[in-house]
Structure 1
Amino acid sequence: MRNPWRLSTGRGKLFVVLGLVIGLTALLLGQPDLLPVALLLLLAPLIAWLLVGGLRLRLAAQRELWPTEVAIGDPMTGEVAIAKRSAIPQGVLLFADHVPAELGESPRFVMSGLDPHWQRDITYPLVARNRGRFSTGPLLVRGEDAFGLVTHDRQFKATTEVMVMPRMYPLSKSKLLGAGSNTGESRPKTIGTLGPDDVMIREYRPGDDVRRIHWPSTARRGEVMVRREEQAWDPSATIILDSRRNAHVGSGPDSSFEVAVSAAASVAQHFLDQRFGIDLYHADGSVARPSSPDGHQLTSRQVLMHSLTDLRLSREETMTKGLEAELAGQSGELLIAICGLLTPVDAEMLLRARRTRAASMAMVLDVPEWEAGIPGGATFTAQQIEDHREGLNILREHQWRVVELPREKTIPEAWRELELTGAGR
């Protein structure tokens, strides 16, 4: 049983002090008429303590929150069902359900009345403001008498886990990406429909059969190119997500990094829908491959979204670790890079990552323009901006399809533009 003095409010303690003072004064001065007042002041906090803190308050609570997996910006609904089963009437009950700031404001509500038995269902709205995993609860109950003399705090143990995932956007179904050449040859390819009949080439290596030389590509590139060996077609794509802290600006859902994560999730889901295997890499290395062993697309999506939900900005200053991991486990005919602020060194490393893949694309956030829209944001130096532009040019000059993503452009718009952009443009 708790110390009654600790449960007393400032008003309750004042009642006790005044009761003692008046009672002693009445005894010392021989004023018996003051004793009833002193007794009332002393008994009021005691009775309040018996009702609020001294007797067992039988409360039951059940909590729900739905949905428990949402994307940034989605609404949620919380519900708390509270039931009181006690023969003794309770004064005022104050309830507060803990909610992290990333999901909204903590709801507070009051129950009062003399009915010893009651049940209430309380619902409240929430909004997923930031990506990550969060916990709502526990529910805090503060019992208080009608005069505010005594309070007693109790806390339930139950909590609810919430996962806020990156926002995914539906991307246009892959359209024909034609890559014309000055030789008059046209090699149409459709992302997501590449197959064994498509021409796959690589650089000539000593010992290659001269009958496998691909003359149009040799003429176009100025070096001997040969057809790749026939192999079983395994449609897969690799996504490289630039998660370096020094490559992004802003904070919260409108930061360049959150947009990059959303873009990576959208592109990955786009290819998963087309039954592609996906490999995802970031600045710190690889992410668990979101392709389930049995090819179940729902499981694949869950693995992908769980991985991206937990992803945080990296302290790595270069993309070396992530690209080395990609080179070590290179697979797939498609390479898609979601980049922040680039440097020529970053671009050269991305060229190494492409090697003999059929297609390589880069969605590059226009971070300098992004940063300019942030009040009080740090200003990139002229050299950093120049390096960023040079990195873009290096990718374009080496047959990458590149599109820039400024703040005002949506991810589906950037993807549509990327599909329509010819290599090297």
Structure 2
Amino acid sequence: MAAGGPAAMDDGDEKGGLRTALGGLTTRGRSFLAAGIAAAVCAYVLGQADLLRVGLLLSVLPLLCVMVLVRTRYRVTGTRRLTPSRVPAGTEARVHLRVENVSRVPTGLLMLQDRVPYVLGPRPRFVLDRMEAGGRREVSYRVRSDLRGRYPLGPLQLRLSDPFGMCELTRSFSAHDTLVVIPRTEPLPPVRLAGEAPGYGEGRQRSLALAGDDDVIPRGYRHGDDLRRVHWRSTARYGELMVRREEQPQRARCTVLLDTRRHAYQGAGPDSAFEWAVSGAASALTHMLERGFAVRLLTDDGTSVPGEGTGGFAGSAQESAEQAGLMLDTLAVVGHSGGGGLSRAYDVLRGGSEGLLIAFFGDLDEEQAAVAARMRQRSGGAVAFVLDSADWGQGDLPPAGSGTASEERLRLLRDAGWTVLAVRPGTGLADYWRQAGHQGAERASAWPVAGGGTTGFSGGWS
């Protein structure tokens, strides 16, 4: 895709006036000019005509080069293209640059330079040979970042120089582009989570068109309808061919909750607890979208993405790719929130319908653990990944008794029906995801049913 449209550069406009050109004198040009003035002054004092001629030559040469650059008119266009424009952290993207001379005058030696943030690598520079009228040159370079974010690229700059290297003029294009570095994601195993329903579900996840012959809402026959779906009683009543409506599948829902409270995490950088939580949320929502779920991303401050449709979920399965891109773009720039609690996220979940809840929590105190426990009441199933600061602290010893307090808060979540996993450094989400499936299976097998015994839980593969 073309990440940047063509932009023209005219080296003969008002911006490239004489004053700007004089400011572009190189060290060589300034030295020649200073030496020429000094020689002319000495020649005047000493009365040496030959020295005066040498001084005039040294002074006129850089000024002549300036006038040549000012009078020379170039029409150059530049285009930038990113492949791809959205990359995971730690993955390279290639930037393609194309410069075209659209004037009838050939250019001189050009130096091409693109502005990039330092986190993406060194500033790329290219030397372009003489470009004929109507000619074009294409170059490319790579960028890479271990930190997620949105990084501007540009503007593209061209530096013009005379053959003697006395003067250099820099011209900038106006086009800017953006490289989006999204969090790393990892593939998750196809395990079954407690309370999970399949992407297009059965039972309560499917809205049937009829419940019996007396509870039929027929519609008119359309070309291509199966004749086996003809409802003869309605056909006789209305005097035209009527058919039963098809089953209307409803997409099962999943909410991915990300705790972004600043004081809930310790440390910073790619290997910090917060970055693990962001990467885990990105992996979870991508995995659930691939399984056909309607997914939304929710943060502790109550912000919901994508934010459209019923309850903030996307409206149809065809929107999954666009929805995933929107949520990953949000995670690319998400930072710590200034809020102190999870109450606003609880208010959003309290008004919603049943669905799977996957939460990534930082350090939970007693109050926030109680709020998180209440979230389970409105969810068909809940899985919590808790990143305790006592395990993720960098160089600081945990306070006395912190391990016991953490276990008590985890037990509070389990008693409320959560499947809880304490996340520790150095382990990927896939391993914890598999453990969540095992715990969910054990919890489901222990549920009593009418008539005695136990039963497994219904639900699909995630």
Task: Identify whether the pair has TM-score above 0.5, normalized to the shorter chain.
Answer: yes
Report the counterpart of residue 287 of structure 2 in structure 1.
270
Q: CA deviation at 1:159?
A: 1.9
Q: CA deviation at 1:379?
A: 5.2
Q: TM-score, normalised by structure 1?
A: 0.79
Report the counterpart of residue 52 of structure 2 in structure 1.
35
Say if 2:148 and 2:182, in contact at 8 Å, map to a contact too: yes
Say if 1:366 and 1:407, in contact at 8 Å, map to a contact too: no
Secondary structure class of the residue paired with 2:99: strand
Q: Counterparts of 1:101 and 1:27 in 2: how far apart (Å)?
A: 52
Secondary structure class of the residue paired with 2:82: strand
1:241 aligned partner, one-letter code: L
Higher RCO (C-alpha under 8 Å, 6+ residues apart): 2
* Residue among 377, 391, 410 paired with 1:355: 377
Q: Counterparts of 1:266 and 1:44 in 2: how far apart (Å)?
A: 64
Report the counterpart of residue 337 of structure 2 in structure 1.
314
Q: Counterparts of 2:279 and 2:186 in 1: how far apart (Å)?
A: 8
Please, which runs of 5 or more residues in structure 2 have no aligned partner? 1-16, 206-248, 307-311, 447-462
Matched, 1:59 2:66: no
Q: CA deviation at 1:109?
A: 1.9
Q: Counterparts of 1:350 and 1:309 in 2: how far apart (Å)?
A: 25
Report the counterpart of residue 399 of structure 2 in structure 1.
381
Q: CA deviation at 1:420?
A: 0.8
Report the counterpart of residue 326 of structure 2 in structure 1.
303
Q: How many residues align?
A: 375
Q: Counterparts of 2:131 and 2:321 in 1: how far apart (Å)?
A: 52
- Structure 1 segment 124-139 matched on structure 2, within 5 A: 124-139=141-156
Q: Counterparts of 1:13 and 1:116 in 2: how far apart (Å)?
A: 32
Say if 2:359 and 2:384, in contact at 8 Å, map to a contact too: yes
Please identify, of 41-50 and 8-17, the stretch whose mean Cα deviation from structure 2 is larger. Answer: 8-17
Q: CA deviation at 1:390?
A: 2.7
Say if 1:93 and 1:142, in contact at 8 Å, map to a contact too: yes
Secondary structure class of the residue paired with 1:252: coil
The CA RMSD over aligned residues, in Å, is 2.9
Aligned-residue identity in percent: 29
Say if 1:103 and 1:130, in contact at 8 Å, map to a contact too: no
**Relative to structure 1, is the Cα distance of residues 326 and 286 closer, same or farther in structure 2, using a 3 angstrom cutoff?**
farther
Matched, 1:9 2:26: yes
Please identify, of 62-71 and 250-259, the stretch whose mean Cα deviation from structure 2 is larger. Answer: 250-259
Q: CA deviation at 1:72?
A: 1.5
Report the counterpart of residue 436 of structure 2 in structure 1.
418
Q: CA deviation at 1:234?
A: 6.0
1:360 aligned partner, one-letter code: A
1:362 aligned partner, one-letter code: A
Q: TM-score, normalised by structure 2?
A: 0.73
**Relative to structure 1, is the Cα distance of residues 243 and 122 closer, same or farther in structure 2, using a 3 angstrom cutoff?**
same
Say if 2:86 and 2:180, in contact at 8 Å, map to a contact too: yes
Please identify, of 78-87 and 343-352, the stretch whose mean Cα deviation from structure 2 is larger. Answer: 78-87
Q: Counterparts of 1:34 and 1:357 in 2: how far apart (Å)?
A: 93
Q: Counterparts of 2:129 and 2:168 in 1: how far apart (Å)?
A: 14
Secondary structure class of the residue paired with 1:253: coil
Matched, 1:100 2:107: no
Q: Counterparts of 1:37 and 1:172 in 2: how far apart (Å)?
A: 81
Report the counterpart of residue 25 of structure 1 in structure 2.
42
Secondary structure class of the residue paired with 1:355: helix
Q: Counterparts of 2:87 and 2:413 in 1: how far apart (Å)?
A: 36
Q: Counterparts of 1:80 and 1:176 in 2: how far apart (Å)?
A: 48
**Relative to structure 1, is the Cα distance of residues 99 and 383 closer, same or farther in structure 2, using a 3 angstrom cutoff?**
farther
